[in-house]
Amino acid sequence: MNCFLTSRWKCLCLVSLLFAGCSSAPQDMPDVAPVSGTVTLDGNPLPYATIVFQPTDGRPSNGQTDAEGKYDLHFNQDTMGAELGSHQVIITTYREFDHPSDSNVKASPELLPAKYHSKSELTATVEPGGNEISFDLKSK
């Protein structure tokens, strides 16, 4: 159980750092491309989940699904998308606190198996141009 809480805490810290690190585009910004898609769980839209694309070397991009499970990734505060190349993908529903500006986003336990977050097996490749990358997750 302690390991499970530690994994949750690490995931929460990662997501918090991603949002805290948002800033203007630096001079040496890597090539990025728009990424959007839909996340479903057992065939149903997965609302208000956090999704992170982590490249092997580079800055992660993140987003949140809406009520219909749709997401758009943000590279930073001013730039939509993700770095080109291969990414490990993390999807989590865990939130320790209610979202201050969105009454639909409440604190919630993790609904997904570890293979989608703390021990993620998900991968994706971001290519130049638009990328529509969807995930159909299974609860078991």
Provide the residue type at 79 as one letter: T
Q: pLDDT value at position 21? A: 52
CB 35 within 8 A of CB 74: no
Q: Is 87 part of any domain?
A: yes
pLDDT mean values, one per 10 residues, the chain (140 residues): 51 51 62 98 96 95 97 96 97 74 68 90 96 96
Query: Could you tell me the end-to-end alpha-carbon distance of the chain, in angstroms, rounded to an integer?
Result: 19
Task: Tell whether 27 is covered by a domain.
Answer: no
Model pLDDT, residue 5: 45
In a domain, 47, yes or no: yes
In a domain, 65, yes or no: yes
* pLDDT of 37: 99
- Is 29 inside any structural domain? no
Q: Is residue 79 part of a domain?
A: yes
Question: 26 lies in a domain?
Answer: no
Domain contains 28: no
Number of structural domains found in the chain = 1
Domain containing 113 equals 2-21+34-137
pTM: 0.74
Spatial separation of the C-alpha atoms in residues 65 and 39, rounded to whole Å: 7
- Can you tell me the distance from the alpha carbon of 123 to that of 14, in angstroms, rounded to the nearest whole number? 18
- CATH number, position 106: 2.60.40.10
Is residue 18 a contact partner of residue 124, using CB atoms and an 8 Å limit? no
